[in-house]
Structure 1
Amino acid sequence: MDFIRILLRRSVMLEEQLREAEHRYEERRTEEERRNRELLARVEREKQLTVENYAIKLSSLEKDKHALDEDTRRSKTLLEKLQKEKETLEDRVSEAEFTASALHQENTKLVEQGRRRDEEIKVEKERGGQVIEELRCEIERLRTAEEAARKRAPSLDASMSPPPLEMQASLKRLREENKGLLEQVEDLQAQLLTSHLEEGRTLVTSTNNNSLAAEFEAMTNEELKKSLKDSQEANSHLRTYIDGILLNIVENYPQLLEVKTQK
């Protein structure tokens, strides 16, 4: 009986221990479930935040990609435009080089023509100088003849009688011939300069360059005006010099005319 009571007490104790163990287990399980729920909630919140962050980053990346695509499109368009402009500029450079070469050749021709023109003007001036020299020689010859006449007729007075009509007519004829020669020289120089001007205009017109033609025409007119003015001044000096010589002969050496009349 004692053994049975002992067993019963131990059974009661075990049942109490079992109930306590079940109660502790239930509390532990409840606590674990609460912790798990909190952990799952925290993980869910973190996951949601992570998803939202990645969504924001994805949206930003998509915007950046769209902007880069737009920049790429604009850059490609700009590149094509620059390529076309480059080709156009290369064509213009080629045309400019060709035009420059043609203008250089034309300039060489014009320089050569200008050189020939200067040489021709120089020749004309030398011819004028030769005429002056011939007149000087004629004056020297007349002076020599006048001195010889003085030696042959020392008592002759130069102021006694005026030059005869024949000598006056001869002097007038010489003046007219000299004037005609000077006019011929001026006409020849004008024709020569006009011919060079027309040749220069023709060459410039053939280049189809209006601005260059205007510039060359203006430059040529200035040069031609200057050359013509120089020639006219030289002819004017020559005419004045010759008229002075003839007048000096009439006024200061009438005895030479009288000697020729006596002869």
Structure 2
Amino acid sequence: MPTSISGVVLVLRSDVIELIRFIEAWWKGLLLLAKLVLFCCKLFHQILYEVKVPAMMAPSVFQRTKSPRSSPGNLPRKLQNGTEPPGQLDPTADSSPGNSISDAENFECYGEADGDVPVTLENGTRSPGNPLNRHSWTRTSLRRTPPSHQENLPHRRWGSMRHSGKRQIGSNVLASQLYRSSSFNSSGCGSGGEPADDMYSDVSLEEDVQGLNYKVQLLQQQVTSLADTQSTADERYARAKAENAVLQARVHMLDEQIREIESRCEESIAEEKRRSREAITRIERDRDSQIAALTDRLTAAETEASHLKQEVGRLRGVAETLQANAENLSRAHREAQEQVGDLAAQLSAAREAERREREAAAAAGVLLAAARRDLLALRDAPPPPPDPRLDELTKELVLLRTQNKSLSEAQEELQAQILTRGVEEGRSLLDGVSGPLVATNSLAHELSQMSDDQLEGSQTQTEHDIELEKLQKALKEQQDVNVQLRNYIDGILLAIVENYPQLLEVKYQKQPPENLS
């Protein structure tokens, strides 16, 4: 029972520990999910911010169109007029942050210019080592870009769009270079120092103007597409900003919910821990009380077991004693049965001897009666004359008397022997002495040993009656002794039946009635 209670306590404790671990794991998973949501929100906010900064750094189309120099519509007028203020041809103006180079970079953020736009002049002067005629300049300036111009341009700002490996030139730079070239060529023609074949013809000039108009139209289309792209980017930025605000609000709301969930989880965990501690304390208290009760019961059971062991030892000793007594009694019973058998055999032999003695006594009585009748007849008869046979009869009478006397003595001795034998047998039975008694000589044996010389006369009727009375008295005493012996044996058998009946059931064999009698 204590083992089962301790097992239940261990199972409950393990269940409580597993529940606490499950709650902690769930809480850690919830915190990890909240951190992941915050990280995703921050990452999305950072992406929106990175998208927002380049869009804000790129100048709008409307700001670029405010400058008369960057407007594509001014290019035809400049080319038609053929003149431009000298301040606008200053090379420092093209390299400033707000000049045409910056405008070209800003336009490059949204598209690419034609790859055939020429950049051959710089600061409005021609290189002395590169003489060009009129027709070759127009063809090369419209279809080829020098590779060395990319090295003279300033570096692109980091917020601009990605571009291809080949840097393109904007429309303002192209228009300014064309204007400078036209001014340079016109000034060269007016000087008169060049030959006649270097002068521009009207047809070539018109072709150049048409090509420039075509280029300007392309640039206007590109500016329109860039304006549309800028408006789309502004709309996307506004929408992303609104979504960012919504996401920030959701992030703050999720932070509040996470804090509330943390507080509730901490409270629930504390409550569960408190309940678990109370349950464990209650279970331990119940376990201690049950263990104490079971310990008391175990102590009482051990005490009772020790008493029972002592009682078992005592009963085993008693059983061994009773078994020894039963064996002794069974042995005594067997000896008593053997003695009873011997006594029964001796009694039957004594009865047979008594019967033979009675027969002998009866025969002797008949002989005495015949002798008495003869004696009376002789007394009553007159004395006969002396007969020679008288002496013989006298001798015969003396012999008969002697025989009668010897028979009476033998009878007395036999009676005494019978009494002595009965007393000795009773005494030996009472004293526990077993064994057959030594038999004395019977009457027939004594009668067979008598000699005819010992018979001297006959005995009177009175002496014979006395001897018969003595013999009857001795026989009665023998019968009394036999009755006492039978009662004693019956008492022993009754005691055995009352105390140890199993001895009679297993080992006792009942004697037939004729043996006991």
Normalising by structure 2, report the TM-score: 0.29
Which of 271, 274, 284 is the aligned partner of 1:31?
Answer: 271
> What amino acid does structure 1 have at the position aligned with 2:283?
V
CA distance in structure 1 between the aligned counterparts of 2:429 and 2:351, rounded to whole angstroms: 15
- Matched pairs, number: 184
Cα distance in structure 2, aligned partners of 1:65 and 1:16: 70
Q: Are 1:197 and 2:415 an aligned pair?
A: yes
- Alignment partner for residue 96 of structure 1, among 336, 340, 365? 336
Counting only pairs closer than 5 Å after superposition, residues 9-20 of structure 1 correspond to structure 2 as 13-20=253-260
From 277, 298, 319, the counterpart of 1:79: 319
Percent identity over the alignment is 23
Structure 1 residue corresponding to 2:427, chosen from 210, 218, 224 = 210
Change (3 A) 1:11 1:212: closer
CA radius of gyration, larger in: 2
Residues 179-210 of structure 1 show CA distances to partners (whole Å, capped at 9, x for unaligned) of: x9xx98985665243222233245446x5542
Give the match for residue 130 of structure 1: 370
- Equivalent residue letter for 2:416: E
Partner of residue 150, structure 1: none
- Secondary structure class of the residue paired with 1:19: helix
Deviations along 1:6-64, whole A, 9 cap, x unmatched?
77766654544343233222221221122111211222123223322432332243234
**In the TM superposition, what whole-angstrom CA distance separates every residue of 1:152-192 from its partner, at most 9, and x where no partner exists?**
xxxxxxxxxxxxxxxxxxxxxxxxxxxx9xx9898566524
Give the number of the structure whose residues are more often helix, by fraction: 1
Instruction: Quote the offset at 1:66 in angstroms.
Output: 1.9
State the secondary structure of the residue aligned to 1:45: helix
Closer/same/farther in 2, CA of residues 20 and 115 from structure 1, 3 Å limit = same
Letter of the 1:210 counterpart: R
Distance 1:21 1:105, change over 3 A: closer
TM-score normalized by the length of structure 1: 0.53
Q: 2:465 aligns with which of 227, 231, 237?
A: 231
Task: Provide the C-alpha distance between the structure 2 equivalents of 1:6 and 1:131, rounded to a whole number of angstroms.
Answer: 173
Instruction: Measure the CA separation in 2 of the matches of 1:91 and 1:211.
Output: 17
Question: Which residue of 1 is the match for residue 307 of structure 2?
Answer: 67
Residue correspondence of structure 1 range 234-249 to structure 2 within 5 A:
none
* 2-structure distance, mates of 1:19, 1:40: 31
Q: Structure 1's 7 and 198: CA in aligned 2 closer, same or farther, altered over 3 A?
A: closer
2:360 maps to a residue whose letter is E
Greater CA drift, 100-109 or 77-86: 100-109
Question: Using a 3 Å threshold, how does the CA distance of structure 1 residues 42 and 137 change in structure 2: closer, same or farther?
Answer: same
User: Which runs of 5 or more structure 1 residues have no equivalent in the other structure?
Assistant: 143-179, 214-226, 235-263
Among 358, 378, 389, the residue aligned to 1:118: 358
Which residue type is aligned with residue 267 of structure 2? E
Distance 1:229 1:18, change over 3 A: farther
Spell out, residue by residue over 1:108-130, the C-alpha distance to the aligned partner (whole angstroms, 9 max, x if none): 33223312321232123212321
3-state SS of the aligned residue for 2:308?
helix
Partner residue, 2:202: none
2:355 and 2:425 mapped to 1: Cα distance? 24
Aligned partners of 1:105, 1:201: CA distance in 2, in Å?
Answer: 17
Question: Using a 3 Å threshold, how does the CA distance of structure 1 residues 190 and 139 change in structure 2: closer, same or farther?
Answer: closer
Distance 1:57 1:86 in 2: 41
Letter in 2 for 1:84: A
Query: Which of residues 287, 301, 315 is equivalent to 1:47?
Result: 287
Q: 1:195 to 1:10 in 2, by over 3 A?
A: closer
Output the amino acid matched with 1:198: A
CA distance in 2, matches of 1:26, 1:39: 19
Match of 1:248?
Answer: none
Distance 1:129 1:109 in 2: 30
Structure 1 position 97, deviation (Å)? 2.7
Deviations 1:46-101 (A, max 9, x none): 32233224323322432342233223212321221122112211321232133223
Question: Gaps (5+ residues) in structure 2?
Answer: 1-237, 383-397, 431-460, 469-517
Amino acid across the alignment from 1:124:
A
Look up the equivalent residue of 1:75 and give its one-letter code: L
| Structure 1 segments (4+ residues) deviating >3 Å | 1-19, 135-142, 183-190, 201-205, 227-230
